[in-house]
Structure 1
Amino acid sequence: MKRNWHISLVLVYLVLGLLLATSFNTQQKYQQALNAPRKEDLIRKVRQLETDRDALKKQIETDRAQIQNYEKIAAKNEGMLSAYTNELEQTRKATGLVPATGRGVIVTLADSPQYPKDGDPNNYVIHDYDLRTVVNSLWSGGAQAVSVNGQRLMSLSSIRCAGGTVLVNSTRLVSPFKIQAVGDSEKLAKALNADEKSRQLLNEIADYYGLVKKIEQRDDIVIPAYKGGLLIENAKVVEGGD
């Protein structure tokens, strides 16, 4: 009776072990069945991320090359802009649209304080042609900028008589007249004496009629920019001209 009890107990343990083993195997297979889709999904996501990464690398390389191209174009345009700016500045200086400073001469002319000896008072005053004579001599002497009583002279400027005054850039001026010129002061002074009309005006005529004259060589001359109009109404471009 005791032996049968032991045999029954062994059989119970065997059956219980078999059930546990079967349950464990079933659980593992079930877990594997659950994990399989997740693993495939993770693999698919990783591969997609790798594909996106490679595409992003190519896009970065393309953008970098495009940026370098833009930088080259910008550098070229910057160089062209700098050249245009310098050319424009030189043009503005040549046309008198910016102030001019430096060495040069100042010629001051004024009407004579003397009573007319020959009865003609016109011989004792400074006229528009007297100013033109001095200005033309200064231009021929290499003047870079010239002004009369602060009126900057340029290609469109005119000096002409207007009654008892002189009209410069449509501005009425009266004696005394201060003519300033920027340039080599020694050459400008020599030019005033080299020109026959200028030499006669500043020497014989001025001395005879008592006209006030003064010539100075200076290092600190300041000539303002031209402030008149730039409209050209009558001039036309000649077709086929250079």
Structure 2
Amino acid sequence: MIPVPSLLRSLLSEHLDPGYAAAAKRRATAAPPRPVVTWGWQILAGLLVTAVFAAAAAQATSVAPATQETRQVLATGVRNAERANEAGARRRDALAGQVESERRERLAGDEQGRQLLADLDVAEFAAAATAVHGPGLNVTVTEASGARDLSDVSKQRVAGSPQVILDRDLQLVVDSLWVSGAEAIAIGDVRIGPNVTIRQAGGGLLVDNQPIANPYVVRAIGPPHAMGDSFDQSPGLQRLRILEAAYGVTVNVSEAEDLKLPAGSVREVNFAKQIGAK
């Protein structure tokens, strides 16, 4: 028989290290912890948690007045900016009226000036730069106020948003009104002109970079009966009827005897030039 060393024999026969075995034996024979000590540690931990929550509540209470004050300062700043913007718009309109009066007075004295004024009137009307009024159509689109069960008929048009009417819907309505014979169009209080865009911005709609809210009112000046008959068969109204049936949108088309549309914003038009060209 070949002798086996004692270390190798212990590795083969004793699977648990002697140190671990001794620790397990001491733990088994040791007295159980006293209940008073255990409860003491639990009470101390509870007191620490309570202290942390109390400190957080005190901090939130102390920060709340400052947050409210900041909110009030921001709201005041917004209101002041809105008033300044409105005052600037009124002054702009007044100065534009003075310029218009002076121009007409100076040009109306001869035949060439009167012809120039007539050409300017045509150009300004085409650019939606003058306020107009006359008979036409009102197209009012109202989104449903309550949520509907859309599991069978449709899905949300904007993921995670209840909004139904999108920029492309209003664009199609405006295009259909132009084709139907409209001479001037406004959405809300924003006149539609050559340089006006209708865009989606998150959960809102912007017309000429100005937000418009539900309900969306599109006003179009033109021959009401002929324009209404043509608009009834247009792709714009057909899409609104589909949204009405699927999403609960309310669509109302009515004739009006006298609509008043504001003048649109006029911007300087820049033209690209080839490098080196004069």
How is 1:78-227 mapped onto 2 (pairs within 5 angstroms)? Answer: 78-118=110-150, 120-122=155-157, 125-195=164-234, 197-227=235-265
For structure 1, list consecutive stretches of 5 or more residues without a partner in the other structure. Answer: 1-75
**Residue number in structure 2 paired with 1:236:** 272
Sequence identity of aligned pairs in percent? 23
Q: How many residues align?
A: 160
Q: Secondary structure at the match of 1:122?
A: coil
- Distance in 2, matches of 1:199 and 1:126, equals 13
Change (3 A) 1:98 1:161: same
Contact 2:185-2:191 within 8 A present in 1 as well = yes
Indicate the larger mover: 181-190 or 100-109.
181-190
* Secondary structure of the corresponding residue to residue 160 of structure 1: strand
CA distance in 1, matches of 2:215, 2:238: 19
Q: Is the 2:137–2:224 contact (alpha carbons within 8 Å) kept by the matching residues of 1?
A: yes
When normalised by structure 1's length, the TM-score is 0.61
Matches of 2:133 and 2:202 in 1, distance apart?
A: 33
State the shift of 1:77 in Å: 7.0
SS at match of 1:166: strand
Q: Which amino acid aligns with 1:94?
A: A
Moved more, 104-113 or 76-85: 76-85
Spell out structure 1 runs of 4+ moving beyond 6 A.
none
Q: Distance in 1 between matches of 2:191 and 2:177?
A: 14
Per-residue deviation, residues 96-128 of structure 1 (Å, max 9, x unmatched):
111111010010012112413225343762111
Which residue identity is paired with 1:231? Answer: E
Give the Cα separation in 1 of the matches to 2:148 and 2:164: 10
For 2:130 and 2:240, locate their aligned partners in 1 and report how far apart those are by CA, in whole Å: 30
The secondary structure found in structure 2 opposite 1:188 is helix
> Residue 157 of structure 1: CA displacement?
0.8
CA shift at 1:167, angstroms? 1.0
- For 2:268, the aligned partner's letter is L
C-alpha distance in structure 1 between counterparts of 2:131 and 2:237, whole Å: 29
Q: Which has the larger radius of gyration?
A: 1
Q: CA RMSD in A?
A: 2.2
Rounded to whole Å, the distance in 1 between the matches of 2:129 and 2:209 is 17
TM-score, normalising length: structure 2: 0.53
Partner SS state of residue 216, structure 1:
strand
Provide the rounded CA distance (Å) in 1 between the counterparts of 2:110 and 2:269.
33
Separation of aligned partners in 1, 2:200 and 2:240: 20
Once the two structures are TM-superposed, the CA of residue 202 in structure 1 deviates from its matched residue by: 2.9
